[in-house]
Structure 1
Amino acid sequence: MLRPDNMIKYPEVDLKLGIKSSLPSVKATLGLLMMFWRASNNPDELAYSKEAGNSIEVSDELKTRLIQKYHPIYSSIGISDEQFLERVNNNQLFKSQLESLIVAFELIWRVAKIKFDNNMPASSERTGGKRYPKTLLFTKNMDILDTVLSSDDEQYSKVLLSWIGLNIPIGSTFEAALLHLLVYISEEAVYKLTDGDQEIIFNMNSVYMKLLEEEDSAVDINDRKEAKGSLRILKSALSDKLNPFLTYSNANGVAIKDGLGDKLRAYQKRVDASLSLSNTRYVLTPEVSETENMYVREGSNEYTYETSRVAGGRNILLYGVPGSGKSWTIEHEYCKKDSNVERLVFHPDYTYSDFIGQILPDVSEDGQVSYKFTPGPFTTILHDAYVNPQKEYILIIEEINRGNAPAIFGEVFQLLDRKVEIKDDDDEFPIGTSEYGITNKNIALEVYGDARRKVRIPSNLSIIGTMNTSDQNVFTLDTAFQRRWEMRMIENSFERVDSNFANAEILDTTVTWKNFCVSINDIIVGNNARMTSAEDKRLGAYFVHLRDLKYNVAAEDRTEGEYESLCEREKEGILTSEEEMRLVEIRDAMQQNRRFPEKVIKYLWDDAFKFSREVIFETNEYQSLEAVIRKFMQSRKFERFVIFRQNVRDAFINQNNTGQN
């Protein structure tokens, strides 16, 4: 014969009192849970959902079972399968975050444990609106509920269908029996509220006792700061009238229903006796604690969740003149086909709050106003990379020195130090993880679900920045900031540029973009003594697009003075329809042909040669940008460059001859 083993020692129950969980329509959520159980023949485990874009919906197998069981009832009053399934898929079992469902199912009614199908961290749904498929692991409390549900299957099925929002008449005695049973199994739940500087940890027995001290009184369960954890869900449950002994409103608090004082007094004594026999131990941590399957400590490993993570995260800063090809290099050399890429741009008004996140007001579906941390793009991609350890993530920061980068990064600046080698006393984080962790409660709660966890950039997240070296930039990057990046100069060269682009002629001038660029850049570098940071003023190979170089011949007059004549006729209001169409055609062509001078000539006049225009421009002849561009537009072919000094025009010709040879 066999003997039993020693009893299993279960971990202490973490009440997760700091989770900002919100679960509106609690009655509908519990009702659908019980429908799942009944339709699936009382299972021990149920994977109930499947992906539907960024949302989830009922699984095909469960959908079939639900329709088979409940169709005869809802169809009898004219409700279609589609209407029924719409109610199902709009239930909070599919809409709410996992953490809210954990608090309700595991900590209040204890009807099921719930987890993601792929064992991701419980905090994975905090940022963004994406929902992931989930699995229910039912408890013995479902068997207790089933003793009532199975006693009259048809009547209780009607009750559950009405709870999920279908307009089905029900017997009040059946609903009352189910409500009482739900109250009975929830009496061990624990709640927390803040009253001034005092934190009150209480259960419903505490509420009953306070009410019975003076039966005409009410108990205020509003948190003076913000309702969190199970308290939020308790308020939703009381609003849904899930406790048949009590009435509740946010303004008037909790009170005893008329005529039920004696019944509640007797019931409270039974609850008190039951609680005195409970051997459940709680962890009363004020913040969110580690959730099952998030991290497991083993020996010297700090978090064995990291063992399968992609390694090699880097901080890379590409710098060079505007248009040298920094963004092109990122796309072609650093981003793989399956990389998950987020791109943002720093600017003078960009702040730490924009980048990391900030506290903002939030109105829940039940109308409660709270203040919650809203993550910025850095925290969001940090979270996504953490919960998807086998995917590569890249955060691209364009124009990193146009914002005050050290201020924008704040304390996250420390995370840019990456682990580069395995040591004898290794912490077993992968290569590419932040070498040092920082304390940031808001980021830690969003990413890990644990405010006490040290924040690190995971090894599967790289950060790539771009920086223009032109002196028009707003901020400079100090050495302490730059040393934490792998610096790479992107040479201003045509070697990697598509020949069709490099050799494209500028409008009708016969001068190619490459030859123009090389000639001007030689002059810029040669003029170093008269220009500040002359090298950084060069034209980048990608300073323009191919479309900026194309010439639209429709801008040319077909007859002498055609354009001016059409403009005069337009002023007089005597244009024919054919002339009107021609005028539109000319103006469209002129807009195309202005792209190059408005971008390149303007840059040379206003920036590169701002203090030495006479070096390349015929300033005796053309003394304003307006005059320069007008002459360029009114001329044809190579004569467009008459705005430049003779030596500059000669350089264009020499470059063209060299290129042809």
Structure 2
Amino acid sequence: MKEKINIRNLNEKQHQALVCMFFAMLPRSDNRYKKRDEYWKILGEKFNIKPSTYKLNKDSFDKYFPNNGRKGFEDDRDLITRVGKDYVSIYNKFKDYPIEIIENAVDEIIQLYTNAYTNEFITLKCGIPETVHTILKNSNNIIIDGVYTLKNQLKLNKIVFITLGGDVNKKEIDWNPGFKGIGHITKEPYDTGYSGDSKYFKFEISIDCLFDNSYKREHFFRYPDTFNATFIGPELKRDPTQAISILTENKAISVIRAVLDDNPSLKKNFDNIFSSKFMQQVLGDVKVLIPTISSYGENIEDVLSRMINNKTKKNSKLIFKTGKKYTSSNNIDFEYNRIIFGAPGTGKSYTLNKDKEDLIKKNENYERVTFHPDYSYANFVGTYKPVNNDNDEISYKYVPGPFLRILVKALESNMSDTPEPYLLIIEEINRANPASVFGDIFQLLDRNNGVSEYPIHTSEDMKKYISEELKIPADQCAELRIPDNMFIWATMNSADQGVFPMDTAFKRRWNFEYCGINKKEDELNKQTTLDIIINNDPEPIHWNSIRKAINCELTEIKVNEDKQLGPFFLNVNDLMDRYSDNKSKLQEKFNNLFKDKIIMYLFEDAAKQKKDFIFSGIENPRIYSEICKEYDEKGLKIFGEDFTNKVKEFEAKAKSSGDDL
């Protein structure tokens, strides 16, 4: 024998499905079939759904009950395609139940929704500028027109939840859309047919409480009972096109609790608006979602146990001092904020990369970024950008920059029992405007034992991102510091063209290391010479001897050291490795590089004002192509007789010292 149907175990959609299936089971000759319009009207007023929609849903059931004498829909669409999974679940579960048991359940459902109006509220959405401005003035007896539904529910003193709508991209929308306040009905529906259409009417409301902020749907994500709270909570189904709807008591309780959690000072206002019983439920137990993570195979008990174990650690502070100073494997201390500067080709990037290998053991523990004139705070820290979602639709999302990405990783590691060092490398830090790129992050560079001495207040976007990534409450992310396991290293060429100056306050927060002009020359390949024309015939000459001779020439014309040539201005080591077994190819590649890099650099930059002196071995040093042509014929003699003598002197010194160079 089938048991009685407990309608409390069914959701609202399933209630409606059971009513539709009940009438589909009945033949037209059954007197109970005549109640369908009355029942559909009650459901329609409750859920703001047209009775004709319920008729179509009933018709979808018809063909599954042949004793009703109706064919129903004759196409191939199945039940789930027509009416959805809730209707299918009702059919599968109750299709074989006696009609009397189903009838009793349907009567209970109708009775439930007939008596529910006293425990329901009205939710209103308005985007008409004139009406919105009147609402924002906290006015009384505000006329709401253009309405044609819920006429029987708009009773005097009924509480109204007010949401402001509108497209913020339109110039007439000068308010912040979202759930804005509470009011009540001061005049029941009147002036029916005022517009010439008999279905439209007006009613009036007064404002009881306006919030300082407009609460958007995302504010209610943590409160599952607010989902599908029409015009207010997150949407699982599309809001109705009409501007008013019904808000059930359980959803209203969760909405008010969400607002009260954000702004406790509103409690006195809510006490004056809602009944004491309602407020007792608001202040009682309300479902709240707690963000957490779960590994595959973990059950609820495992997750809760881990959350409890981590509670003390997670709820202390966002930034920790680990008490550990990170050093390399050979006990050389690394500075936290570090800039290496020097002439081009002195091995600045090479030095940082080598030190990185001593500090960082995992590639995912560092990021590298290169500054350029158009680089900005939004690129470096983060900003909203258009992204493609799963449906290949464009939406806007906060996208972090390299600074914020590596900072969050460092913070997450710092919160663990075994923190690891993290590194951000900035190439060419002064090719962008450093003060502009760093913005308020500049203050975090003042560090005491590795931790920022002074915090900054995070923006709402940054706070939300950090909160989601670290799985901690947003209020713990209100202030931000750099932890002691995050290092920021940079390279800089102070004398290059197109660079930005650094102010003293910015420089003071960094440790500067000068990379000397000859500091890394011992790492050049010493075994291979290049056949360079120095007199009339090619002679074996080392690149380092040529480089030093050029630097001597630049010194004589008072060019500062930071514009001279470092050992790696030409990557000769790479040439030697690639073409060691083909000397003619090696020679060809070197000569091309020499013209494209060395001669061009001297012509356009380092010796731009002293071409006659540097290129003293040719008649017309003002034309770059002529200089290159002369180099192909004369080799190093384009720099004059004194220069070739200097090259030979450097070669002789290297050999006399026992060095191949």
TM-score calculated relative to the size of structure 1: 0.52
Q: Specify whether residues 506 and 373 from structure 1 end up closer, same or farther in structure 2 by C-alpha distance, changes over 3 A only.
A: farther
Gaps of 5+ in 2: 1-79, 95-104, 110-115, 127-131, 139-148, 166-176, 179-213, 256-274, 292-303, 327-334, 468-472, 533-537, 657-661
Question: Which residue pairs with 2:371 in the alignment?
Answer: 346
**In the alignment, is the contact (CA less than 8 A) between 1:616 and 1:648 conserved in 2?**
no
Q: C-alpha distance in 2, partners of 1:303/1:221? A: 37
Matched letter for residue 440 of structure 2? E
Question: Which residue pairs with 2:655 in the alignment?
Answer: 660
Q: Specify whether residues 227 and 653 from structure 1 end up closer, same or farther in structure 2 by C-alpha distance, changes over 3 A only.
A: same
Q: C-alpha distance in 1, partners of 2:427/2:592? A: 27
SS at match of 1:343: strand
**In the alignment, is the contact (CA less than 8 A) between 2:428 and 2:490 conserved in 1?**
yes
Structure 1 residue 513: deviation in Å?
1.1
Q: C-alpha distance in 1, partners of 2:309/2:381? A: 23
Question: Which residue pairs with 2:482 in the alignment?
Answer: 457
Query: Does residue 317 of structure 2 align to residue 303 of structure 1?
Result: yes
Q: C-alpha distance in 2, partners of 1:517/1:417? A: 40
Query: Does residue 433 of structure 2 align to residue 404 of structure 1?
Result: yes
CA deviation profile, 1:143-194 (whole Å, cap 9, x unmatched): xxxxxxxxxxxxxxxxxxx99xx999943356899xx9xxx9xx99xx9999
SS at match of 2:513: strand
Question: Which residue pairs with 2:263 in the alignment?
Answer: none
Structure 1 residue 364: deviation in Å?
6.1
Q: C-alpha distance in 2, partners of 1:651/1:502? A: 21
Q: C-alpha distance in 2, partners of 1:494/1:376? A: 34
**In the alignment, is the contact (CA less than 8 A) between 1:360 and 1:374 conserved in 2?**
yes
Q: C-alpha distance in 2, partners of 1:167/1:497? A: 75
Query: Does residue 633 of structure 2 align to residue 645 of structure 1?
Result: no
Structure 1 residue 515: deviation in Å?
0.8
Structure 1 residue 620: deviation in Å?
4.7
Structure 1 residue 266: deviation in Å?
13
Aligned match for 1:537, one of 543, 563, 566:
563
Equivalences for 1:47-446 in 2 at 5 Å? 170-173=88-91, 212-213=153-154, 223-224=177-178, 226-230=216-220, 238=228, 248-249=238-239, 251-252=241-242, 255=245, 278=281, 280=283, 303=317, 306=320, 308=322, 311=325, 314-335=336-357, 336-338=360-362, 340-360=365-385, 372-389=397-414, 390-420=419-449, 432-441=450-459, 442-446=461-465
**In the alignment, is the contact (CA less than 8 A) between 1:218 and 1:252 conserved in 2?**
no
Question: Which residue pairs with 1:133 in the alignment?
Answer: none
Aligned match for 2:541, one of 494, 506, 511:
511
Q: C-alpha distance in 2, partners of 1:275/1:509? A: 98
Structure 1 residue 446: deviation in Å?
2.2
CA deviation profile, 1:360-403 (whole Å, cap 9, x unmatched): 45676689987553322212221121112212111111111111
Equivalences for 1:12-51 in 2 at 5 Å? none
Q: C-alpha distance in 1, partners of 2:514/2:583? A: 41
Q: Specify whether residues 621 and 175 from structure 1 end up closer, same or farther in structure 2 by C-alpha distance, changes over 3 A only.
A: farther
Question: Which residue pairs with 2:525 in the alignment?
Answer: 500
CA deviation profile, 1:612-653 (whole Å, cap 9, x unmatched): 1222313652432111112223x3xxx411211100011111
Q: Specify whether residues 268 and 327 from structure 1 end up closer, same or farther in structure 2 by C-alpha distance, changes over 3 A only.
A: closer
Structure 1 residue 440: deviation in Å?
2.4
Q: C-alpha distance in 2, partners of 1:192/1:538? A: 73
SS at match of 1:541: coil
**In the alignment, is the contact (CA less than 8 A) between 1:616 and 1:644 conserved in 2?**
yes
Q: C-alpha distance in 2, partners of 1:193/1:409? A: 42
Matched letter for residue 306 of structure 1? F
Q: C-alpha distance in 2, partners of 1:618/1:276? A: 93
Matched letter for residue 505 of structure 2? A
Q: Specify whether residues 218 and 645 from structure 1 end up closer, same or farther in structure 2 by C-alpha distance, changes over 3 A only.
A: same
Q: Specify whether residues 536 and 499 from structure 1 end up closer, same or farther in structure 2 by C-alpha distance, changes over 3 A only.
A: closer
Structure 1 residue 604: deviation in Å?
1.6
Q: Specify whether residues 309 and 213 from structure 1 end up closer, same or farther in structure 2 by C-alpha distance, changes over 3 A only.
A: farther
Q: C-alpha distance in 2, partners of 1:383/1:274? A: 45
**In the alignment, is the contact (CA less than 8 A) between 1:417 and 1:436 conserved in 2?**
yes
Q: C-alpha distance in 2, partners of 1:410/1:641? A: 48
**In the alignment, is the contact (CA less than 8 A) between 1:346 and 1:398 conserved in 2?**
yes
RMSD of aligned alpha carbons? 5.5
Gaps of 5+ in 1: 1-161, 201-207, 421-431, 557-585
**In the alignment, is the contact (CA less than 8 A) between 2:226 and 2:252 conserved in 1?**
no
Could you tell me the percent identity over the aligned residues? Answer: 26
Question: Which residue pairs with 2:613 in the alignment?
Answer: 615
SS at match of 2:339: strand
**In the alignment, is the contact (CA less than 8 A) between 2:411 and 2:483 conserved in 1?**
yes
SS at match of 2:631: helix
> Which has the larger displacement, 225-234 or 546-555?
546-555
**In the alignment, is the contact (CA less than 8 A) between 2:124 and 2:163 conserved in 1?**
no
Q: C-alpha distance in 2, partners of 1:627/1:438? A: 57
CA deviation profile, 1:468-495 (whole Å, cap 9, x unmatched): 1324242111111111001111122255
Q: C-alpha distance in 1, partners of 2:243/2:366? A: 49
Structure 1 residue 281: deviation in Å?
5.2
Matched letter for residue 571 of structure 2? H
Structure 1 residue 544: deviation in Å?
1.1
CA deviation profile, 1:266-287 (whole Å, cap 9, x unmatched): 9999x999856537459999xx
Question: Which residue pairs with 1:604 in the alignment?
Answer: 602
**In the alignment, is the contact (CA less than 8 A) between 1:382 and 1:447 conserved in 2?**
no
**In the alignment, is the contact (CA less than 8 A) between 1:503 and 1:514 conserved in 2?**
no
Matched letter for residue 628 of structure 1? I
**In the alignment, is the contact (CA less than 8 A) between 1:385 and 1:458 conserved in 2?**
yes
TM-score calculated relative to the size of structure 2: 0.52
Structure 1 residue 407: deviation in Å?
1.2
Q: C-alpha distance in 1, partners of 2:249/2:86? A: 34
**In the alignment, is the contact (CA less than 8 A) between 2:319 and 2:411 conserved in 1?**
no
Q: Specify whether residues 345 and 506 from structure 1 end up closer, same or farther in structure 2 by C-alpha distance, changes over 3 A only.
A: farther
Structure 1 residue 325: deviation in Å?
0.7
Structure 1 residue 450: deviation in Å?
2.3
Question: Which residue pairs with 1:10 in the alignment?
Answer: none
Q: C-alpha distance in 2, partners of 1:211/1:352? A: 56
Matched letter for residue 505 of structure 1? L
Question: Which residue pairs with 1:423 in the alignment?
Answer: none
Question: Which residue pairs with 2:630 in the alignment?
Answer: 631
**In the alignment, is the contact (CA less than 8 A) between 1:352 and 1:407 conserved in 2?**
yes
Matched letter for residue 171 of structure 1? S
**In the alignment, is the contact (CA less than 8 A) between 1:219 and 1:253 conserved in 2?**
no
Question: Which residue pairs with 1:525 in the alignment?
Answer: 555
Structure 1 residue 352: deviation in Å?
1.5
Bigger CA radius of gyration:
2
Matched letter for residue 616 of structure 1? I
Question: Which residue pairs with 1:29 in the alignment?
Answer: none
- Give the aligned length: 417
Matched letter for residue 213 of structure 1? L
